[in-house]
Amino acid sequence: MRKRGTQPKTSGGAAPARRAADAADRSDSFPIVGIGASAGGLEAFASLLSNVPADPGVAFVLVQHLDPKHESLLTEILPRSTTMPVSEVTEGVRVKPNHVYVIPPNKDLAISRGILHLMPRTYTRRQHMPVDVFLRSLAEDQKNKAIGVVLSGTASDGVLGLKAIKAEGGITLAQDESSAKYSGMPRSAAAAGVVDFVLPPEDIARELGRIGRHPYLTSPKAATSEGLLPESGGSLTKIFTLLRGAFGTDFTHYKDTTIRRIYVRHLRDNPGEVEALYHDILINVTSFLRDSSTFEALKSIVFPAIVDNRPSKTPIRIWVPGCATGEEAYSITICLLEFLSARRLTVPVQIFGTDVSQSAIERARAGRYPENITLDVSPDRLQRFFVRVEGGEYQISRSVRDLCVFAQHDLIKDPPFSRLDLISCRNLLIGLLMLGTSETVGNYTRHFHLLDKKSKIYERKETTARSRLDMALAQGASGSTIPADKKLGGRIKPEFDPLKEADRIVQSKYAPAGVLISDEMEVLQFRGHTSTYLEPAPGAPSLNLMKMAREGLLPELRAAMRQARKEGGPARREAVRIKVNSRTRTINLEVYSIRGPRQADRFF
C-alpha cells in the first residue's frame, strides 16, 4: 500500500501528459454561473466577488439591467473586488474558468457550446428580460452544469431562467431579502419555488466555491444526467464515485446497508433534509405554451377530432396530471377557447389539473404569474386571457380559471379520471395522448396510433390488450360476447343471443381457421383451430402473427399482407407448403382488409 502523499514512478513524459489531459478534462467540465441583477445589483455582485475563494474553478457571467444609451462602467469597477480577469463580452468569446464576463449595454446575451453570443436588444412594449434570456440559454447549453444566481433588482426577471436551470438538474441561488437593496427579483424567484439556496452575497460566494469543486459538476463523466444512473454495481455506485473523487477513498466494497442506514438516520434527524429531498424529486417546473408547435397541432389535429360529430351539450373533458403550477393546463384551455371561438362553437369545457404537490396546486388555483411570462405569451393573449394585478404580476382571467379544476392527486395511488377526450401530462392516456418531444409510447405502439410524429400526439386504438381481456372475461359458456354496458359492479349480467350462438356454431364447424389481427400484426382473436398453422415462438410470450407462423408460411404470409394493405382488397395465395411436425402440408391462404370507422382503425 502506498503512503499518503507518495506518487508512483512514471516514465519521463507520462506525468506531464497526464497533467495536460487532466487540465483538458477540467477545462471542458467546469460550471458556468449566470448571475442576474438590476437595481442594487452592482453592490451585491461586488460583495459576492470579493468573497469568492481563490481559483474557484467556475466562470461568472453577469447580466445586469443597463441603460441602453450609456456605456457600462462595470469593467472598471468590478476588478477592485476580484483578482480574476473581468471583461465585457464580445461576440464569439469562449468562456473560461476563473474569468468574469459582463454583458454590454443595449444587447441581449446567449451561450451555445460554451461560446457567448451577442444579440440586438429587441424593443417592444414588453418588459425587457435579459436575465431570463441568458439563463434559459445557459440551461439548454450546460444542462446540469448550469448555475443560476439572482441578486438585487426590481420586478421578476430571472424566474423563468432559474426554472429552466432547475428543470435541467442545475443549481439555483438567490440573494436574501434582508441584504438586497431591492428585493423584487430574488423574492419573485424564491416565491416561484425554484431556488435551492437563499443567502446573502458573501455566503453565495462561499457556496459557489464549494459547488465549483464538487465532483458532480467537475467530473466529465458526471456531467450528464445519464451519468448519474447506476452502473452494473448497483444504485450506490455513483455515490461512491463522487466520494472517491472528493476524498480519494474508495467505498465501492463498503456495505450498502450501512450507507443506506446512515442516510436514513440523517433524514430522520433532519426534517429540513426530508423536505429538500421531496422538492428536489418533484421539481415543479413548467412554462406557458411550451413547444409552440405542439399547441398548433392541438388546434389542427386534436381539437377537430374531439368536436366533430359531437353533441353540443356534451362537455369537452381534458386532464393534465402532473400540472405543477398550472401553466400547461391554462395553455391548453387558452388554445381550446381560441379554437372554439374561431369555429363559432359553444361547447361546455372541463379542464382538470392534478399534481402530488399541494403547494403547486394552490399556486395553480391562484393563477398568478410573474411579468416575465411575456417571453412566452403574446400581447394578444395577455390582453384576452390575463389581467394585470398588484406587484406587476399577471393573473389568468376569471372566465378561464372557472373552466379549470385543480386538485391534489397521486397517479400511483389514486384512481384516474374517466370519460376524457384528451390527457396531457404529457404522460397518460384514455382518449388522445400528447407527450413531450423527447418521449414515446415505448413498447406499447400496438395500443396507440400516431397522429402527429413531430408533436408526439397519439390516439388510442379501438382494440387493445385490455379489450381482449374484457372480451375473454365476458364470455359465457356458449362463447357469446356480452356488451360492456351489461357488466354491472364487476358482475356479468347474463344475456343470451341466439344469432351470435348460431354464428359460433357455423364458424366452429364449417369456416376455415383464421385470426383477426391489428395493423401491427398483433393477434386480437383466434377463430377455429389454428395450431396447424401457428405456434407460440420460443422466448418471451408474443401474439405477433409473424413470430407464430409455422415453417414455410411466413414468406407467403408477408406477401399476402403487403398486397392486402396496398390494394385494400382480398389477397390469395394457393398451394402454400408448410411444415407441421416433420410433415409437409399444402394449404390456401387468404387475407382480407377490414376498415373501421376511423382512419386509425384497420384490421386483417
Catalytic residue IDs: 38, 65, 157
* Backbone CA torsion sign across 208, 209, 211, 212: positive
What phi, psi does 447 have (nearest 5°)? -95, -15
| Residue written as grid cell 453592490 | 43
What string of H, E and C letters represents the secondary structure of 477-528? CCCCECCHHHEECCEECCCCCHHHHHHHHHHHHCCCCEEEEECCCEEEEEEC
Residue 210, classed as helix, strand or coil, is: helix
> Quick check: bond before 426 cis, omega within 30?
yes
Three cell numbers, residue 238: 455513483
454 DSSP assignment: T
Contacts of residue 164, defined as CB under 8 A and 6 or more positions apart, other chains included, come to 135, 136, 139, 140, 285
* 3-state class (DSSP) for residue 472: helix
CA 171 to chain centroid: 18
CA distance 439 to 76: 48
- Give the C-alpha separation, 174 to 197, whole Å: 6
Report phi then psi at 419, rounded to 5.
Answer: 50, 55
Residue type for 480, please?
A: S
Q: Is 315 helix (H, G, I), strand (E, B) or coil?
A: coil
Task: Give, as one character, the DSSP assignment of residue 70.
Answer: S
